[in-house]
Amino acid sequence: MTRQDARPPTPDPAPDFDVLIVGAGISGIDAGYHLSRERPGTRFALLESKDTFGGTWATHSFPGIRSDSDLFTFGFRWKPWKGVAIATAEEIRSYLAEAVEENDLCQHIRFGHRVETASWDSGTALWTVSVRSPHGPRELTCRFLWMCAGYYRHDRGYQPRWPDMERFAGEIVHPQTWPDTLDHAGKRIVVIGSGATAATLIPALAQTAEHVTMLQRSPTYYFPRPMRDEFTETLRALDLPDDWFHEIMRRKHLHESRTVARRAREDPDAVAAEMIGAARAYLGDAVDIETHFTPRYRPWRQRVAMIPDGDLFVAIRSGAASVVTDDIARFVPEGIELRSGEVLKADLIVSATGLELNALGDLGFTVDGVPVDLSECITHRGIMLSSLPNLAMVFGYLRSSWTLRADLVSDYVCRLLAHMDTRGAQSVTPRLRAEDEEMTLRPWIDPENFNAGYILRALDRLPKQGDRQPWVMTQDYFDDRITLPVADLEDGTLVYETAHPEPAGVTFRSGLTGN
């Protein structure tokens, strides 16, 4: 065949989407909003494994479920929150439904689409994602993959195995998989755990149960906060526009959280005394504060559970609930035998033992046919990962509202996509510079900074961070809100490429313009 007989090169087929967003929870909705507003015309979809949006607020349905962050910072900065600071799951779901409807995002959501693997091909600069859908297995392609699937497994929570659990004659449930038909009225209930979930469950269960016992290995810090305060009520009386009210309240809560975090670092003993003092003010002589409400760790080394109007303390002081601090020896038919020899009798045991973390939704990633070990990757500003092209992820704050970081990540990703367009680049990959090769690698979250059990259990599966920017996961909103919007996209740590040399006479699409 002569050169003249050869067929002209054919442009690569267009990908199914410019951007695929995995997950339609808080982060996914926020990402979809930003794409539709900042990059109109972008072909994108949100792949959601469930049959509804909402993420955490669709997964959890246990009694009393509510936020443990204030909604003025947990809510979107672009949609004012109008209710009380601590909201029920039903109120949050309604808020998210409004956000989706007002921004016409439902047209972009593919429900019942569970992503199982994602494969990158450098020759075409495309991700191919394998999806299990209501119509069977599918493969979709995209230029950019945006992981908004959260940080824990939604199908199961963390469930320790204690000796002789099978001997218990009653029912054992985990809050993450709470049965819709479970009737807890009139029952003796033991809730294992003392974190935010337990603090939410116990006051709700205590309303109809015979009695609820909180069983903890060690005490937790709690922050009782009034549902309404004088400042908020004064502000409401001024009849301000919704966006003004939202912004003022948002700044108020941000200022308070920053002040508490700073004081917890600089004077942890004083902050501890204040929180323990608050427990004592509510509980009086009803319980031994030293034994049950004096934690062994410094404040904010684990997340502080917010309890509106001190409802957990109120339930304990009333006698409807009680607290026991001890270790579990074994389960017995009538309940739980403790190391002390005491037996807690129960009809129902709730294992409020936390989350089971995963890394990027437990997907199997490959790059040019080579499997990727996420634990060997290094984070780039807590948003991208070394060696993974055209991929962003959302991992929120552990001490502040998750959505604060989701908003910043959305801004950053849209800015990065625009920069790629300007450059004519089809891929961007974080790679270590020569001066970064010997830097000290650290866990994704420094245990000396934050040592919650659900984090420590997963550190071996999570990516690493370095000892300098941009290889650091700051976990500091007040730093990120200044540095991320102006982060240098040309500092040498982001490598931009085209897929392959452009054939003569053929225009190579970036795929990111949305045109």
276 and 184 in a common domain: yes
347 and 327 in a common domain: yes
Q: pLDDT tens digit string along 473-486?
A: 989 999 999 999 99
Q: pLDDT tens digit string along 20-60?
A: 999 999 999 999 999 999 999 999 999 999 999 999 999 99
305 and 438 in a common domain: no
Tally of domains in the chain: 2
**Cβ(400)–Cβ(389) under 8 Å?**
no
Domain end point (choices 351, 366, 383): 351
363 and 323 in a common domain: no
Q: pLDDT tens digit string along 225-263?
A: 988 888 999 999 999 999 999 999 999 999 999 999 899
215 and 177 in a common domain: yes
Domain carrying residue 330: 165-351
Indicate whether 511 belongs to any domain.
no
Indicate whether 278 belongs to any domain.
yes
361 and 347 in a common domain: no
What CATH number should be reported for the domain holding residue 485?
3.50.50.60
Residue 346, by phi and psi: left (phi above 0), alpha (psi -120 to 50) or beta? Answer: beta
25 and 91 in a common domain: yes
Phi, psi angle pair for 310, to nearest 5°: 60, 35
CA distance 301 to 295: 11
361 and 345 in a common domain: no
332 and 296 in a common domain: yes
174 and 37 in a common domain: no
| pTM of the model as a whole | 0.91
| CA torsion angle 156 65 216 189 (round to 10) | -90
* Nearest CA-CA partner of 412 in 444, 367, 380, 378: 380
What residue type is assigned to position 310 of the chain?
Answer: G
Q: pLDDT tens digit string along 336-348?
A: 999 999 999 999 9
Indicate whether 504 belongs to any domain.
no
Cα dist from 19 to 64, 77, 396, 414, whole Å: 37, 23, 21, 11
- Measured between its terminal Cα atoms, the distance across the chain in Å is 37
Residue 134: band (very low, low, confident or very high) from pLDDT cuts 50, 70, 90: very high
Indicate whether 344 belongs to any domain.
yes
382 and 306 in a common domain: no
Domain end point (choices 303, 320, 351): 351
195 and 147 in a common domain: no
CA distance 2 to 99: 60
Domain end point (choices 334, 351, 368): 351
Indicate whether 232 belongs to any domain.
yes
Indicate whether 324 belongs to any domain.
yes
